[in-house]
């Protein structure tokens, strides 16, 4: 009976060591998860900033296109006026 008890105690000690190891691994995983969540949050903030910058760039592009169209119309008018004056 003593041998059986001793074998059980060895098994219990082995299982306790395995539990301790798994608990340590679990704790390390929790730390890694927190780190990745923080990194993810920072990436979300960066994405929001880039989206805002993208939106501002779209507005600037629209303004520049409108200005370009206006200048092209002015040039076309000057070209036509110059052409008419050259005919006269």
Average the pLDDT over 23-28 and give the result. 99
Q: Is 10 exposed, middle or buried (0-12, 13-18, 19+ CB in 10 A)?
A: exposed
Q: Which residue has the tokens 């910058």?
A: 53
pLDDT of residue 25: 99
The percent of residues in the chain predicted with pLDDT above 90, rounded, is: 81
- 28-63 confidence digits (pLDDT tens): 999 999 999 999 999 999 999 999 999 999 999 999
Give me the phi and psi of 75, to 5 degrees please. -60, -45
> Does 6 have pLDDT greater than 80?
yes
Give me the phi and psi of 77, to 5 degrees please. -65, -45
65 — pLDDT class (breaks 50, 70, 90): very high
pLDDT of residue 18: 99
């Amino acid at each position: 009976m003593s041998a059986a008890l001793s074998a059980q105690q060895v098994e219990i000690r082995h299982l306790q060591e395995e539990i301790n190891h798994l608990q340590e691994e679990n704790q390390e995983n929790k730390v890694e998860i927190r780190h990745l969540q923080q990194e993810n949050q920072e990436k979300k903030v960066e994405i929001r900033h880039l989206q805002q910058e993208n939106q501002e760039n779209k507005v600037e592009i629209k303004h520049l296109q409108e200005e370009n169209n206006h200048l092209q119309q002015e040039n076309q008018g000057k070209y036509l006026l110059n052409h008419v004056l050259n005919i006269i």
